[in-house]
Amino acid sequence: MHRKALTALLGAVAAAVLLTAPSAASAWAPADQATVHPGVQVFTNGAQCTANFVFRDASNTYLGQAAHCSGTGSSTDTDGCTSGSLPIGTPVDVTGADHPGTLVYNSWLTMQSKGETDADTCAYNDLALIKIDPADVGKVNPSVPQFGGPTGLGSWGGTGSTVYSYGNSELRGGVTLLSPKQGLVVQGTDSGWSHDVYTVTPGIPGDSGSGFMNGDGGAIGVLSTVALAPLTGSNGVGNLPMELAYMRANGSAFSGVNLVPGTEPFDGNLAGAVLKGVGVRARTR
């Protein structure tokens, strides 16, 4: 996709987000009671990932995950234009829901169907949507646990800018102290499709698909890879605004899908977020 056209689409997505589904608390389950929210574990044919954000259109509610979460190849198959994937319609087990969700969009399958050839798009466009069963929509809240937000769709900062994330891999054995993360942008691709970030602690297998927010709480990214070289311990994070723009441009069924802001205010205090995870109220100055 040409850069000029993609820039125009990004602007349209950002404008649409301002008019998206209501963020009023009454539209969703209370944040402290919701069982389906950003950060829950999702299982696609047994493969575990972490949901990023909540999305909605006029009819349906969705959770985002990484496209590679439904991949059928090895962990090194990361090119979305050549790697295999389970089909649209595949059931996805969503932690906290009583019924399976349904895979309804996958960027890998979309790129393959349209014959995408841009190398960075193929490598880093890594977004999928899970449609929540209507019977479970009443269990959903769009707020990121412990941090609150997102405040809307955000934009990436430069090197050294702050990012926040929430991972939920089973490998942590349910230790929620390690779920909220704060980190820094290390570098980005020239195309803008991906950024390498360092967080404390780093994302690990099972965190794939988890969402990233900028310093203002804006939703900006989806965890895609764990880097072994050249930046050992860093994570590759896809550009969510670009992924959404691609989805909207190449799938008319999803042209009305928008990110839903959280009902809880964003708070970038990492220590406070950790304490919330163990039921301790943080003291603020």
- Going by C-alpha positions, the residue among 41, 72, 53 that lies closest to residue 205 is 41
- Going by C-alpha positions, the residue among 213, 219, 189, 218 that lies closest to residue 199 is 213
- For 135, counting Cβ atoms within 10 Å of its Cβ (0-12 exposed, 13-18 middle, 19+ buried), the class is exposed
Say which residues have a Cβ less than 8 Å from residue 285's Cβ, sequence separation at least 6.
none
Greatest CA separation for the chain: 54
Among 2.60.120.260, 3.40.50.2020, 2.40.10.120, 3.40.50.1980, what is the CATH number of 37-276? Answer: 2.40.10.120
Q: Does residue 284 surpass a pLDDT of 70?
A: no
How is residue 206 annotated by DSSP?
Answer: T
Annotated domain spans of the chain: 37-276
Total-model pTM: 0.86
Q: Is 52 helix (H, G, I), strand (E, B) or coil?
A: coil
Tokens of 219: 């939703």
Q: Does residue 178 surpass a pLDDT of 90?
A: no
Say which residues have a Cβ less than 8 Å from residue 215's Cβ, sequence separation at least 6.
157, 161, 162, 163, 164, 268
How is residue 176 annotated by DSSP?
Answer: G
- Going by C-alpha positions, the residue among 167, 164, 102 that lies closest to residue 133 is 102
Give the residue-averaged pLDDT of 19-46. Answer: 81
Task: List pLDDT tens digits, range 186-210.
Answer: 999 999 999 999 987 767 677 899 9
**What pLDDT is stored for residue 173 in this prediction?**
62
Q: How confident is the model at residue 77 (pLDDT cuts 50, 70, 90)?
A: confident
Give the residue-averaged pLDDT of 160-175. Answer: 81
